[in-house]
Structure 1
């Protein structure tokens, strides 16, 4: 049930309180509710879903119930060995093992007891596919599409996807839909699929503000919200966490919340689970941990202010150390929308790794492998920028590349370019020298870089950066490319185009140190009773490395499972709380209620 803070009594008691309604927080609340806990889910923004709602919803869970149908040869042992090679000492091996053990159980438990349903993506390689123990398929799960109409008025609570990732005024499309839409004039199967999508969207727009066929991250959030409401979990939006209360033993036993000038003290018997999304929009922490990275480059949802971290650190929690990076990264391009807001577009896979694309710095020179993972791409930009200006970098293509693959927010087809050129998002020129002049980069460097790429396209070998040499890289090329390397193609058909790329932080990797049950640890490595962390509030079990698709949502789900169930069990074992003098009888009665669903 969706409440206002006014609807709760002073000193009202809940078994479990979850701070943050992204994918991890909603999952933790659901797991606790499945186990019979009375749960309060608190979200600071207007919407539930967090950055998960913007994402593809991919969840990396090796050895799940869905994996064998796609890859019967994979195992948890393979995944453990892979992570040992990929992550090494950047995170605790015991914590990684806890993730690998809990992940499959979390998937089975949530599917058996809720509306949340997954399937294994048929082909979705681990990003570090060159390492032994990696796989091409079976570990990456995606949520099944969800009919948002089932939510009724609560549909409005779901954070809408990034507008630039939708078509026709709010119609969501996933990886398969994009392929069908691009091939609808070439294949009857694709035409039939496209017609069904368009007809459904047309009916939706009669009664709904956007399409109700939810896919990817929006589908996951829709399924979680539907399941939470079915179990009578209390949901508060636009509500701030003001303080964490500790009793005489130092355990967290209550919180203070505020909403529209109202304030409430809430008693907690089982635990408070922090899943607020990380530190990324905390001004001071951002300057210290992500120096030189403008917050306007962050494509994440607005809720991860780090407020919950300040409160946890004040009662003895600490941040983890030793990660490869404090954040996870993607190259992004930025454009002002007509309403004055800023569109931040992550370049995950649709353009930069395709044939006929090249990325250069201020000197017009290549400085990285365009097909590397988006995380390593973002890190490489920042490292290169210390020597040669490489932020922004410039993603360059020709008329054929733009037509076939698009360029950031410019969709494939090569039509409707004028608005993008007029506002400076897209730069165009009839020659490479002219393009360099408009970008204010070295024309000789750009001309030489393109000449080299054109030679490498003939041989299929990139001696400078080994582009297209791993299964992951080749998977993000063009499977229909007729050249020797699906990632390398010539650039030569005028006009030429470019967009500016910046390193965008897509999530926190540094978070609160926690144990293998997601309990937050103090400076003496002892659990702070009643305090848990999951999602990006928890120190990355991947140590700031990005070894595969969905390595934030996967651990988010696994440790939500561990935290939610442990907090629910703790509440069940707790003695009946003292009755507040301000609320005789009613608080004690409500503390004993259980929602069993």
Structure 2
């Protein structure tokens, strides 16, 4: 079967149509194709990869072969205990057990049968001190990939998020190579490493107009797309699904649009929705996100095309997608980066909050949480702290020495210049804390008192107010050279700096109600024949919490694998 959208007929028949080309959709499609089904993937955008291509590319897969090597003491019982602790009243015993059993199988299948390759990480669980939590062994990462392997389809791979690259160059999600960039002016080894990386990247830009050695989510998306294309699975980009075709209560295909006009894809065995949830569905998130409902700003770095199409189509076909979790999305503190000419980017604050000498304050100048907790935990704490206020925002504050060493938000460490960010209003500066507060719109007395109180403990490497550096996860993203606490240092000598941070998300947790196998359920709990949901279109197994690095991709690929096999089993496909 052809893989080019422009060569496809207006009326197409296949066994299975998958709507969405992120990790969940491609995992489902590849699994079903390996079982002998004829599969087509539809993608709304002109490029494939979805939110996956913009992500960190980490998967939380307890008890994988990599995890067992790193932490042989981990057990099914400990994983189950951790999931019960993390999900609380939303714990789904059947789904959790299915995930635990099939996660390692999924990893083994994709590494054996496809271009997919993983590497271990050193990530602790985000709550390693909770019952069943561990300090290492549950998060794995997509191995880097040379996207020249995609051939002419290299141009159809969604590029990484601009704000987290350096001149388009990607860093590994493990942050190992990023540490060399922090130390480039202090270590000959790091200087040489950075020089080699930059030289290689500049050569790639000259030859290919983009970096070709991709990491993180771009590597995950590229490896999965390569695997699908090798299996002759068409990925029809620029082909948005408009409606599920129903016949006799069964999903039998999709009506799609695009530049070539309307197209009907008939599917003998069903339709799988993998459209990435609803983070850009303005009306739905206004109901689901408390900070938006009270008038706050929200900036999502997810693709603009993630407008909830899959959820809406599932509802139109009789499915249910209630807003039921306290936190309907994976929260990510972000800042608005002005590019000029009215354009801006969204910067996710993944690293700076953990560094010693950086604190987060509200408009009253007061701290409100442990800034070295996970992005979701900090986001949830910020939403709660700003309850009753029109604005949900915090300001990250540091001194000159800290800014020069680590950077702050989109502002890079020394020797990179900062003047541009002072002029465009992204970075606030003050010779004194009072002047900084005046420029940033903070309460000067509150900020001065907060820094004064924080510095007392910070001088000893302590944070008695919020316990920065108290967990293995806090310390993992801190500065190991700062002792006795890699997350704590005083804020001492001006000038002082601040960046305003608002709420964003990495994707939605709420979604379509499904069976464990991914069948879309009606309001009465019965399945809609032939209709399935995977990835962020399906309600998260995590119940609105964020237990560890990769808790989106890990379950999403695992349940894509489960759903693909379920459909194949149902129609008696080859084992």
**Band the TM-score falls in, shorter-chain normalisation:** over 0.9
Alignment of 1:98-177 (within 5 A): 98-121=98-121, 123-167=122-166, 169-174=167-172, 175-177=175-177
- Aligned-residue RMSD, C-alpha: 2.0
Deviates more, 1:371-380 or 1:68-77: 68-77
Q: Counterpart of 2:29?
A: 29
Deviations, residues 53-100 of structure 1 (Å, cap 9, x unaligned): 111100000011221221111122211111111112213121111111
Q: 1:63 to 1:80 in 2, by over 3 A?
A: same
In 1, distance between residues paired with 2:196 and 2:76? Answer: 39
Distance 1:83 1:398, change over 3 A: same
- State the match for 1:89 in structure 2: 89
Partner SS for 1:364: coil
Q: What is the alpha-carbon distance in structure 2 between the residues aligned to residue 547 and residue 366 of structure 1? A: 23
**Where do residues 488-503 of structure 1 align in structure 2 (5 Å cutoff)?**
488-503=488-503
Structure 1's consecutive aligned runs of 4 or more residues displaced over 6 angstroms after TM superposition are none
Deviations 1:168-202 (A, max 9, x none): x3221221221223334555554554344234223
Q: Aligned residue for 1:459? A: 460
Counterpart-to-counterpart distance in 2, 1:75 and 1:117: 24
**Residue matched to 2:312:** 310
Q: Tell me the distance in 2 between the aligned counterparts of 1:57 and 1:192.
A: 27
- How far off its partner does 1:321 sit? 5.4
Cα separation, 2, equivalents of 1:107 and 1:295: 38
Match of 1:383 in 2: 384
1:246 corresponds to: 246
TM-score (norm 1): 0.92
Q: Aligned-pair distance for 1:453?
A: 1.1
Give the aligned partner of residue 521 of structure 1: 521
Q: Say whether residues 1:337 and 2:335 are aligned partners.
A: no
Q: Which residue of structure 2 aligns with residue 588 of structure 1?
A: none
- Provide the rounded CA distance (Å) in 2 between the counterparts of 1:243 and 1:391: 36
Deviations 1:4-49 (A, max 9, x none): 5553334421111111111111211111122221111111012111
SS in 1 for 2:422: helix
* 8 Å Cα contact 1:363/1:446 also seen in 2: yes
What is the number of residues matched between the two proteins?
570
Q: Does the aligned pair in 2 maintain the 1:82–1:134 contact within 8 Å?
A: yes
1:426 corresponds in structure 2 to 427
In the alignment, does 2:82 pair up with 1:47? no
Which deviates more, 306-315 or 40-49?
306-315
Determine the structure 1 residue equivalent to 2:321. 319
Is the 1:19–1:241 Cα contact (8 Å) retained in structure 2?
yes
**Cα 1:231–1:387, aligned 2, differ >3 Å: closer, same or farther?**
same
Contact 1:381 1:390 in 2 (8 A): no
Question: Which SS does the other structure have where 2:459 is aligned?
Answer: helix
2:264 counterpart SS class: strand
CA distance in 2, matches of 1:330, 1:211: 26
The alignment status of 1:288 with 2:287, answered yes or no, reads yes
d(CA) in 1 for partners of 2:500, 2:183:
29
Per-residue deviation at 1:410? 0.6
Deviation at 1:120, TM superposition (A): 1.3
Query: What is the distance in 2 between the residues matched to 1:211 and 1:5?
Result: 26
CA–CA distance in 1 between the matches of 2:187 and 2:424?
36
Distance in 1 (alpha carbons) for counterparts of 2:247 and 2:365: 61
* 1:115-167 Cα deviation digits (max 9, x unpaired): 0010111x101001121211111110001110111112211111111122222
Query: Structure 1 residues 422 and 215 mapped into 2: Cα distance closer, same or farther (>3 Å)?
Result: same
Q: Secondary structure at the match of 1:262?
A: coil
**Shift of residue 2, structure 1, vs aligned partner:** 7.1
C-alpha spacing 1:244/1:388, structure 2 compared with 1 (3 Å): closer
In structure 2, what is the Cα distance between the partners aligned to 1:556 and 1:5?
26
Find 2:348's aligned residue among 342, 346, 349. Answer: 346
Q: CA offset at residue 537 of structure 1?
A: 0.4
Describe the shift of the 1:528–1:111 C-alpha distance in structure 2 as closer, same or farther (beyond 3 A): same
Distance, in Å, in 2 between the alignment partners of 1:320 and 1:340 is 36
Unaligned runs of 5+ in 1: 574-593
- 5 Å-filtered alignment, 1:53-72, equals 53-72=53-72
Contact kept in structure 1, 2:3 and 2:229, CA below 8 Å: no
1:363, 1:295 → 2: CA distance? 18
Q: CA deviation at 1:352?
A: 1.2
SS in 2 for 1:337: strand
Contact 2:408 2:499 (8 Å CA) reproduced: yes
CA contact (8 A) 1:281 1:295 kept: no
> Distance between the aligned counterparts of 2:326 and 2:448, measured in 1?
34
| Distance of 2:196 and 2:564 partners within structure 1 | 39
Cα distance, 1:154–1:340 mapped onto 2, change above 3 Å: farther
Cα gap change, 1:274/1:505 in structure 2, threshold over 3 Å: closer, same or farther? same
Contact 2:6–2:260 (8 Å) recurs in 1: no
Q: Is the deviation greater in 181-190 or in 80-89?
A: 181-190
**Shift, 1:391, TM fit:** 2.4
Q: Aligned residue for 1:300?
A: 302
Q: What corresponds to 1:328 in structure 2?
A: 330
Distance in 2 between residues matched to 1:188 and 1:414, nearest whole Å: 16
Deviation at 1:571, TM superposition (A): 4.6
What does residue 535 of structure 2 align with? Answer: 535
Give the equivalent residue in structure 1 for 2:276.
277
Alignment check: 8 A CA contact 2:17 2:253 kept: no
Question: Which residue in 1 is equivalent to 2:439?
Answer: 438
Contact in 2 for aligned 1:280/1:286 (Cα 8 Å): yes
Match in the other structure for 1:255: 254
CA distance in 2: counterparts of 1:402 and 1:392, whole angstroms: 21
1:191 & 1:69 partners in 2: Cα distance?
33
Do the aligned partners of 2:182 and 2:405 also contact (CA within 8 Å) in 1?
no
Does 2:79 correspond to 1:79?
Answer: yes
